[in-house]
């Protein structure tokens, strides 16, 4: 994956972060590879991304404008501008830039991911779902599980749990190590009282991601119901020692879990 794309993936609002496994990818679909640009645009775009990650939005905007001036037809610049305007709360400008990026390169999966997330946050759920899947359908995109997972997250956050579960499963078929899909499947399985399945998903999650207050609290709940007191104690100890100020640690006292 090119360095620029990696950097842009780091600043996906969701996490980043995902076509179905059985989706047919048309062989005659017009796919455009990543664009190339001059050094001035590339350097200023990299700086703009770094400034945005640091929260220095004014400096980010200045560098992105310089990148745009040096190459007005370079789609990734408008993708990042779309993210910047989204962070600044200017939804009109954000959408304008995402759409302009897609007019320049309509199959760019990074832009499609970011625009899909924008649509989801605007409660345009069906548009978001369709756009996430379009991102994943690009055969040049080497991480379609990201777009599929993001589709699942969008639907899950809007109480479409059954549809979200379908996407999380598809993402894990493509890549069994997607942390967000694993932890979401853990929670879904727990809510369905599929406790052994929930335990398995949580163990898989902890192999690829760090412990978090939420994952530890979920583990405590699962192991309590399964009657594994030793594992409950282990999770409780980690939660108290590593995240004593977390909301989940406070729940220990309320729940009287030792």
pTM of the model: 0.81
Sole residue written with tokens 């047919």: 24
Query: Cα separation of 117 and 95, whole Å?
Result: 11
Does the pLDDT of residue 12 top 80, yes or no? no
% the chain with pLDDT above 90: 81
Q: Average pLDDT, stretch 128-150?
A: 94
Confidence of residue 258 (pLDDT cuts 50, 70, 90): low
| Confidence class for position 254, pLDDT limits 50, 70, 90 | confident
- Band the pLDDT of 14: cuts 50, 70, 90: very low
Least confident piece of the model among 5-9, 47-51, 124-128, 248-252: 5-9
Q: Determine the distance from the C-alpha atom of residue 91 to the mean position of all C-alpha atoms in its chain, rounded to a whole number.
A: 20
Q: Mean pLDDT across the stretch 195-214?
A: 98
Q: Is the per-residue pLDDT at 27 higher than 80? A: no
Going from N- to C-terminal start, the domains of the chain cover 211-258
Residue with the larger pLDDT of the pair 31 and 145: 145
pLDDT of residue 110: 92
The answer, yes or no, to whether residue 50 has pLDDT greater than 50, is yes
Mean pLDDT of the chain: 88
34 pLDDT band (50/70/90 cuts)? low
- Region 175-203: mean pLDDT is 98
Between residues 25 and 155, the one the model is more confident about: 155
């Amino acid at each position: 994956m090119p360095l620029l794309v990696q950097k842009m993936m780091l600043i996906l609002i969701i996490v980043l972060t995902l076509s179905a496994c059985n989706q047919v990818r048309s062989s005659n679909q017009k796919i455009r590879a990543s664009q190339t640009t001059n050094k001035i645009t590339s350097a200023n775009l990299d700086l703009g991304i770094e400034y945005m990650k640091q929260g220095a939005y004014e400096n980010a905007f200045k560098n992105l404008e310089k990148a745009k001036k040096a190459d007005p037809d370079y789609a990734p610049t408008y993708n990042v501008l779309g993210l910047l305007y989204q962070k600044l709360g200017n939804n009109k400008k954000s959408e304008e830039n995402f759409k302009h990026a897609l007019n320049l390169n309509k199959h760019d999966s990074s832009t499609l991911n970011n625009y899909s997330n924008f649509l989801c946050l605007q409660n345009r759920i069906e548009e978001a779902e369709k756009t996430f899947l379009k991102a994943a359908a690009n055969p040049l995109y080497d991480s379609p599980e990201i777009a599929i997972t993001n589709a699942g997250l969008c639907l899950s956050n809007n109480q479409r749990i059954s549809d979200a579960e379908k996407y999380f499963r598809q993402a894990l078929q493509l890549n069994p190590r997607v942390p967000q899909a694993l932890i979401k499947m853990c929670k879904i399985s727990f809510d369905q009282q599929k406790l052994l399945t929930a335990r398995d998903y949580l163990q898989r999650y902890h192999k690829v991601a760090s412990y978090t207050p939420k994952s530890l609290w979920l583990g405590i709940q699962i192991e309590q119901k399964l009657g594994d007191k030793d594992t409950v104690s282990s999770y409780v100890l980690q939660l108290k020692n590593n995240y004593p100020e977390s909301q989940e640690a406070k729940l220990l006292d309320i729940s009287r879990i030792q």
